[in-house]
Amino acid sequence: MTDYALLARQLDALLDDRDWLTNSAQTCAFLMQELPALNWVGFYLHREPGMLGLGPFQGKPACHPIPFSKGVCGAAARTRETQRIDDVHAIADHIACDSASNAELVVPVVVDDRLWGLLDLDSPRRGRFTEADQHGIERLVRAFVANTDLT
């Protein structure tokens, strides 16, 4: 089982700069190294109304831009709630960027009641993200937010 408390402490120590670009790139690389069974981790940024633009990521080149109206990422942006999908093929408007992806977790990054962006994780393993993983990864997102200037 993944020790998310340990990962949160390690991420906290890793993010020793407050710059959003540096920290988001470091966070993706850290998660890709530390979490098993992932094929893609990255940030989508909310820099224009109703749209998500691709930010720092690890994995294959991905879809850009994504409107709020589409896909699992769009649902996370609209609802500002984490989307945890056991099997992306069961989601009618899932946007397939990498055919290796079968499960997905998308965590909104909200700062001062404003959607800054999303953290998106994809796995080749169906059901990869348990509720415990969701809570653990939300905790890592909080560590990213606490260490970064996002306003």
AA identity, residue 23: N
Tell me 147's DSSP state: T
Distance separating alpha carbons of residues 72 and 63, to the nearest angstrom: 12
Task: Tell me which of 94, 103, 108, 123 binds ligand SME, using CB under 6 A.
Answer: 94
Nearer to ligand SME (CB atom), residue 95 or residue 115? 95
Task: Tell me which of 14, 25, 51, 63 binds ligand SME, using CB under 6 A.
Answer: 63
Nearer to ligand SME (CB atom), residue 71 or residue 136? 71
Distance separating alpha carbons of residues 105 and 2, to the nearest angstrom: 16
Question: Could you tell me the smallest distance in angstroms from the CB atom of residue 18 to ligand SME?
Answer: 26
- Verify binding: residue 51, ligand SME, rule CB under 6 A: no
AA identity, residue 80: R
Helices 20-34 & 131-146 angle (0-180, nearest 10): 150
144 half-sphere exposure, CB direction, 13 A CA radius: 30
Task: Tell me which of 73, 107, 140, 141 binds ligand SME, using CB under 6 A.
Answer: 73
Three-state DSSP at 106 gives: strand
Three-state DSSP at 17 gives: coil
Task: Tell me which of 25, 29, 62, 145 binds ligand SME, using CB under 6 A.
Answer: 62
- Verify binding: residue 40, ligand SME, rule CB under 6 A: yes
Nearer to ligand SME (CB atom), residue 99 or residue 151? 99
Contact residues toward ligand SME (CB under 6 A) are 40, 62-63, 66, 71-73, 94-95, 97, 101, 104, 120, 122
